[in-house]
A and B are shown apart, each in its own frame.
Chain A
C-alpha cells in the first residue's frame, strides 16, 4: 500500500495544489487500493461499481487545468466514493436492491453535480443495506461489506460501504445518507468520521428516498476537517428540493480549523447511555468528556426524557414514509420486471411479482409496517402519535440547547458486531440506532468521530456531537478539538491501529 492514500483529503488537496502528486496518480492509487482489497472472498466489498474510466478522465482533466494555471476548487482532483443510494449519470444506481439492478439514472443528484463542479473524481458507488434499510449493510442484495478492523464483523449500516471504503483507504472521502444514523453509526464502528447535516442543509434531490422527512446526505471521512471541506462542497440551497434551507450553515471549514471549546457548555444526554451500552464504549466516552473538560469546556448533564420514545416513533414514521416512497418501484417504467409464472397477466399481478422478487425481507418488513401504520383506523394511533412524539423530541432538544451549546453521547451502544449475529433479530438490529435517531427526528445536525478502542474487543467506538439546527459549525469546532486531543493520546490516527489488510494480486481495471 502506498503511503499516499493514507493522507487526509486536506493533505492530499495540498499535495495536488503543490503539484507533488497529480490527480491521475492519486486517483490511480485509490483505484489500485480498491482492486487490491475490495474484491474476492474476504474482500471489503465496499464498492458495488468502480468508475475507473470516468474517474481517471476527470483526474486527467484536473491535471490539465492545473497545468494551464486555471483556478480550481480546493478539492479538485481529490477522489470520492458515492453511496449507491445517490443517483449518478454514467454509472448504475442500485440502492442495494435487485429491483434496480442495471438501472442507470438519466440525471445526476444535486450533490453529484456539485462534486462534478468541484472536479472531484468519483471512484464508484458504495454498498449499503437495501434502500438504506439496516444497520449492518447485511441487507444489501449484493452481499455484505466487511469491517476493515475485523473482516468477520459488520461495518455498520446502512452506509457500511462508504465508511469501510474510507476506513480501508480505498477513498479519502465518501458521501453517505443518514435517516436514523446511517452515516454516524458506520463511522463509529469503523473508526471514521461522519456527519449528518441539519435537515435541509444538503439537497436530497437524487438521493433515493427512504423517509423523506428524515433523510439527509452528508460527508464521510477520516478527519473532522475533511468532513467540513466536503460538507461545504455539497451544502447549500437547491431549488429542486423544497425542503432545502435558503440559509444553510456556513463557516464549517473555518470552525474545524479554529477548534476551540473554551467556555463552551457541553451537555451529556442522560438518556443516551447506561443500560444497553457496552462498557468499553462508555469508558471511551468518559475519556473524551475528560479531554473536553481539560480543554476548557464545561460538561453538564441534561435530560431529554422523550428520547426514550424516539426509537418507537421512528419505527412508525420511517416505515410509513418508506412504504409510500417505495411504491414507485413496480416494474412499469424502469428496473426489474417479473411476470407471474402462471395465472392471469394483470398489471396488479405483474407489480406484485416484481415487488415480491425485487425487494428483500427487511424492505418488505418496513413496507408492511408502514402500510399498516398509515391505514385508515390506525393512522391516528400510529403515524399520528409518532408525529406527536417527534414534536416532544424537538422540544427536548430546544430545552437542552437553551442550556448548552452542544450535546454529546456515544454514537452507537456497541462496537461492531459479528456478521450474521443480529440478522434474524430485527429489534436488536434496530437498537443500534437508539442514540442517532433523535437527531433525525428533530432535524438537528450530528457528527460522529472515533473515541478510541473498546478495551474488551479492541474495536473502535464512536462519540456523537449534536448541535441546534443550522449550527453545524459547532460540531466541527468541538469535533476538531476532541480529535486533536484523542490523536495525541493515541500517537496518531486511530486507523493506524487497524490491522493491515491482506492485499490481493495488484491488478487494476484501469489499464
Chain B
C-alpha cells in the first residue's frame, strides 16, 4: 500500500479539491438506442438484439423515455436544458463495447450549468456546482476467468455479457469543488447520497448502488493553501457505496499528501478502490489528451427539447427531497434534533405514511423511533422490513386513545400482530388484553392498594397529590397492567376525597 499521511496532517498542509462523475443507470423499459429490454440480473446475453451486439448494418434510435428522464434529472439538478443537443461517438477498442465506440454526448450535453445544495450531517448546506449531465449508453460486463486477480491481466479468457450494453446512462459531472476542507470526505458521501436520493425520488432510476445503478468516479487533487491553480488529480473509478466514496476520498487525500510531501509529483491516472484494504491502487494513466476521436454521431438527428416539453416535464417533477424534508419537519413539529434522528434512521417515509394513514406525528415518531426501531435492531433488519404497517401503528394508537389498551399492552398487542395473530383489535380480543375500566373491579384494587400503603394515602390527603403515582402503580401491579391508569388516578382521588 502507498504511504499516507494522517488525515489531520494532510489537511493541515493541503487544500483538497474534489470533482465527481456520477453515472446513473435509468430504469427505462428498453435500452438507450435499441428496443431490447433493460432488465438487471437475467441470463447473460438474453436481453440483446442486433443493435446491442453492434451487428453490421444496424442503426441506433433514441429512447424518448430516456431523454425525458435525463431532462428530469437536469431539472432536478437546477440545470439549463439544451434546446437542441447531439450525440457523439467516443472511440476506444474494448470488448465490452460492441461497436468499439460509445455513443455519448460531447460538446452539447442535454443539461448544463446547474447546482445541488448538499446537506451535511450537522445541517450545513454546501453548494456543489454541476457542470453538465449528459446521456450515453452503458457497456457490457466482462468477467475475467482464471488468473489470480480476476482482472484482465493474467486471465485465461474473458466472458462478455452484453445485457448491460446499451442501458441508458446519465453522467453527472460536477465543476471542481473547492473549500470543503476537512469535510471533503463527508461532502463526497453526502453529494453522492443526494444524487442518489434525487434520481430515486424522480423515479428515473432504481438507484441501487450495489447493482451499479449509481456509480461514482471520485477526482481528488491537493494544493497548498492559498494557491489558485489545481494540483494534479487522480480519478478513483467505480466507487460503489456511500461509505466507500467517503473512505476513498479520505484515502486519496492522505496518499496525495504523502506523495507531495516526499517531493514527488502526483501521476494523473485512474485508481482502483479496494474495499478490503480501504485503499486505492494505480489503474491506467489518464491524460487530458486521451484521444477518443469524438465526432458527431451521424446516425442520429439532434434531440430537440422544446420549451413546452421541458415545462411539461418540470410540472411532473416530484417535490425535491431537501424541500420535502423542510416541509415535513414543519408539518410534524419535530425539533431539528428529532428530525435529523428520523432522517438518519431512514424512517422519514415510514413516518410520513403513518401520519398520512391517520396517526399524529408525535405518535408516529414514538412508534417508529421507539418500539419498532428497537425490535428491528434486535432482529437486525431495517425497521421498514419488520412487517409493521402504518395501518397497524394507527390502529394501536387509536386503541390507546380510546382507553382500550395502554402503552404497555400495546407492545403486547404488537407482539401478537407480528406473530400473525391478526390486526391489533383482533389481538386485543384474542388475548383478552383490554384495559380494566370497570370501576367496580378497579375500586376493589384501589381499596386494597390504599390499605397496603396507608402512609401514602395520608400524604395525598395532606395535599401531596403527586404521591398518587405510587398507588396507581400498586393498582397496575394487581391488575397486571390492564387497568386504565387515568381512570385509576381519578378513582383514587375520589376515594380519598381530594380534588385532582
B contact residues around A100 at 8 Å (CB): 56
Residues of chain A in range 278-293 having any CB-CB distance to chain B below 8 Å: none
Mask for A189-224, Cβ within 8 A of B = 1, else 0?
A: 000000000000000111111011100000000000
Assembly CA distance A106 to B49 (angstroms)? 9
Can you name the residue of chain B whose Cβ is closest to the Cβ of A205? B59
Q: Are B295 and A324 in contact (CB under 8 A)?
A: yes
**B41-95 with Cβ < 8 A to chain A:** 50, 53-62, 89, 91, 93-95
Is there an interface contact between A205 and B57, defined as CB atoms closer than 8 Å? yes
Whether the Cβ atoms of B57 and A86 lie closer than 8 Å is yes
B158 to chain A: closest residue by CB = A347
Residues of A within 8 A of B99 (CB): 327-328
Q: Quick check: B160 and A240 within 8 Å, CB to CB? A: no
Q: Is the CB of B61 within 8 A of A239?
A: yes
- Which of B298-306, B351-359, B468-476 contacts the other chain? B298-306
Contact yes or no, A371 B293, CB < 8 A: yes
Determine whether A303 belongs to the interface, using a CB cutoff of 8 Å to chain B.
Answer: no
Does A260 sit at the interface, judged by CB under 8 A? no
Are B95 and A321 in touch, CB under 8 angstroms? no
Which residues of B are found within 8 Å of A321, using beta-carbon distances? 295, 298
Chain B residues with CB under 8 A of A417: none
Question: B385 interface residue, CB < 8 Å from A?
Answer: no
- From A20-28, A180-188, A373-381, the one touching the partner chain is A373-381
Distance to closest chain A CB from B67 (angstroms)? 13
Q: Does A95 contact B (CB under 8 A)?
A: yes
CB atoms of A328 and B100 under 8 A apart? yes
Please name all residues of chain A whose beta carbon is closer than 8 Å to the beta carbon of B321 when the two chains form the complex.
Answer: none
Residues of B within 8 A of A213 (CB): 298
Q: A294-334 toward B: CB 8 Å interface, digit per residue (1/0)?
A: 00000000000000000000000000110110011110111
A105-148 CB contacts (< 8 Å) to partner B: 105-107, 109
Interface: B101 (CB within 8 A) = yes
A103 interface residue per 8 A CB criterion = yes
Alpha-carbon separation in the docked complex, A330 to B56 (Å): 12
Q: Is B291 an interface residue (CB 8 A)?
A: yes
Residue B315, interface by CB 8 Å: no
A507 within 8 A of B: no
Chain A 243-257 interface mask (CB, 8 Å, partner B; 1/0): 100000000000000
Instruction: Say yes or no: A242 contacts B60, CB within 8 Å.
Output: yes
**Is A432 positioned at the interface, with any CB of B under 8 Å from its CB?**
no
Give A321 to B297 CA distance when docked, in angstroms: 9
- Please give me the residue from chain B that is nearest to A95 by CB atom: B56
The chain B residue with its CB closest to the CB of A100 is B56
* A212 & B100 in contact (Cβ 8 Å cutoff): no
Number of A-B contacts (CB under 8 A): 102
Which residue of chain B lies nearest to A335 when distances are taken between CB atoms in the complex? Answer: B56
Partner of B55, one of A211, A334, A371: A334
Q: How far is the CA of A243 from the CA of B62 in the complex (A)?
A: 11
Cβ of A394 within 8 Å of any chain B Cβ, yes or no, is: no
A341-383 interface (Cβ within 8 A of B) = 347-348, 351, 371, 374-376, 379, 383
* Bound: A376/B287 CA distance, A: 13
Whether A103 contacts B56 by the Cβ 8 Å rule is yes
Given contacts A379-B295, A383-B295, contact A328 B56 (CB under 8 A): yes
In the complex, A332 Cα to B95 Cα: how many Å? 7
CA distance A241 to B61 in the complex (A): 7
Residues of A within 8 A of B60 (CB): 242
- Output the nearest chain B residue to A376 by Cβ-Cβ distance: B291
| Pairwise interchain contact A375-B293, C-beta atoms closer than 8 A | yes
Instruction: Tell me if B37 is interfacial: C-beta within 8 Å of chain A.
Output: no
**Is A320 touching B299 in the complex (CB atoms < 8 A)?**
no
CB distance from B291 to the nearest CB of A (A): 5
A205 is contacted by which of B58, B62, B98 (Cβ under 8 Å)? Answer: B58
Shortest Cβ gap from B167 to chain A (Å): 18
Contact A208/B59 with A327-B99, A333-B98 known, Cβ cut-off 8 Å? no
**Docked pose: A208 CA to B301 CA in angstroms:** 19
Given contacts A106-B50, A327-B91, whether A376 and B56 have CB atoms under 8 Å apart is no
Q: Which residues from A are CB-within-8-Å of B295?
A: 320-321, 324, 374, 379, 383
B274 to chain A, nearest CB (A): 24
Interface of chain B, helix or strand or loop or mixed? loop
Is A347 a contact partner of B59 (Cβ separation < 8 A)? no
A contact residues around B56 at 8 Å (CB): 87, 93, 95, 100, 103, 105, 208, 328-329, 334
Q: Does B289 contact A (CB under 8 A)?
A: yes
- Are B101 and A327 interface neighbours, CB within 8 A? yes
* A: interface residue count bin: 35 or more
Q: Check if A332 sits within 8 Å of B160, measured CB to CB.
A: yes
Question: Is A333 a contact of B58 with CB atoms below 8 Å?
Answer: no
Complex Cα gap A386–B300 (Å): 19
In the complex, the answer to whether B58 meets A376 with C-beta atoms within 8 Å is no
Complex interface: chain A residues within 8 A of B289 (CB): 376
With both chains docked as a complex, state the minimum distance between the C-beta of A272 and any C-beta of chain B, in angstroms: 26
Indicate if the CB atoms of B53 and A333 lie closer than 8 Å.
Answer: yes
Query: Which of B57, B62, B152, B158 has the most C-beta atoms of chain A within 10 angstroms of its own C-beta?
Result: B57
Contacts of A207 in B (CB 8 A): 57
**Which of chain B's residues have a CB closer than 8 A to the CB of A375?**
291, 293
> Are A204 and B100 within 8 A (Cβ)?
no
Decide: B298 and A212 in contact? CB cutoff 8 A: yes
Contacts of A109 in B (CB 8 A): 57
Whether B98 lies near A242 (C-beta < 8 A) is no
Q: Is the CB of A351 within 8 A of B54?
A: no
Task: Give the distance to chain A from B310, nearest Cβ to Cβ, in Å.
Answer: 21
Q: How far is the CA of A292 from the CA of B64 in the complex (A)?
A: 49
Known: A107-B50, A212-B298. A241 touches B59 (CB 8 A): yes
B348 to chain A, nearest CB (A): 43
A149 CB to nearest chain B CB (Å): 32
Q: How far is the CA of A213 from the CA of B61 in the complex (A)?
A: 15
A508: min CB distance to chain B, Å: 30
B50 touches A351 (CB 8 A): no
Closest Cβ of chain A: how far from B59's Cβ, in Å?
5
A323 to B293, CA, bound (A): 10
Closest B residue to A206 using CB positions: B57
Q: Tell whether A87 pairs with B301 under 8 Å between CB atoms, given A320-B295, A328-B98, A375-B293.
A: no
Kindly state the separation between the CA atoms of A213 and B86 in the bound complex, as whole angstroms. Answer: 14
Chain A nearest CB from B412 CB (Å) reads 63
Inside 8 A of A351's CB, which chain B residues have their CB?
A: 93
Interface string of A227-267 (1 = CB under 8 A from B): 00000000000011111000000000000000000000000
In the complex, A383→B91 CA distance in Å? 16
Give min CB distance, A256 to chain B, whole Å. 29
A127 to chain B, nearest CB (A): 17
- B57–A87 contact, CB under 8 A? yes
Asked if A212 and B95 sit within 8 Å, CB to CB, the answer is: no
In chain B, positions 91-117 with a C-beta closer than 8 Å to chain A are 91, 93-95, 98-101
Determine the residue in chain B with the shortest Cβ distance to A211. B298
A243→B100 contact, CB < 8 A: no
For residue A327, which residues in chain B have a CB less than 8 angstroms away from its CB? 91, 93, 99-101
Q: How far is the CB of B302 from chain A (nearest CB, A)?
A: 10
* Distance between A205 CB and nearest chain B CB, rounded to angstroms: 5
Task: Compute how far the CA of A371 lies from the CA of B299 in the bound complex, rounded to whole angstroms.
Answer: 18
Q: B299's contact among A95, A206, A243, by CB below 8 Å, is which?
A: A243
In the assembled complex, the Cα of A226 lies from the Cα of B407 at a distance in Å of 91
Does A348 lie within 8 Å of B93, measured CB to CB? yes
Shortest CB-to-CB span from A129 to chain B, Å, is 16
- CB B32 to nearest CB in A, in angstroms, measures 13
Report the minimal beta-carbon distance from B294 to chain A, rounded to whole angstroms.
Answer: 8
Note all chain B residues with C-beta closer than 8 A to A332.
95, 160
Given A103-B56, A242-B299, A333-B55: 4 more A-B contacts, CB < 8 Å: A205-B57, A242-B62, A321-B295, A323-B293
Give me 19 A-to-B residue pairs in the complex whose CB atoms sit less than 8 angstroms apart, sorted by A's number: A86-B57, A87-B56, A93-B56, A95-B56, A103-B56, A107-B55, A206-B57, A212-B298, A213-B298, A242-B59, A242-B62, A321-B295, A323-B293, A324-B89, A324-B293, A327-B91, A328-B98, A347-B95, A375-B293
Hey, which bits of chain B sit against chain A, CB under 8 A? 50, 53-62, 89, 91, 93-95, 98-101, 152, 158, 160, 289, 291, 293-295, 298-301
Closest 5 CB pairs of A and B: A327-B100, A212-B298, A374-B293, A213-B298, A206-B57
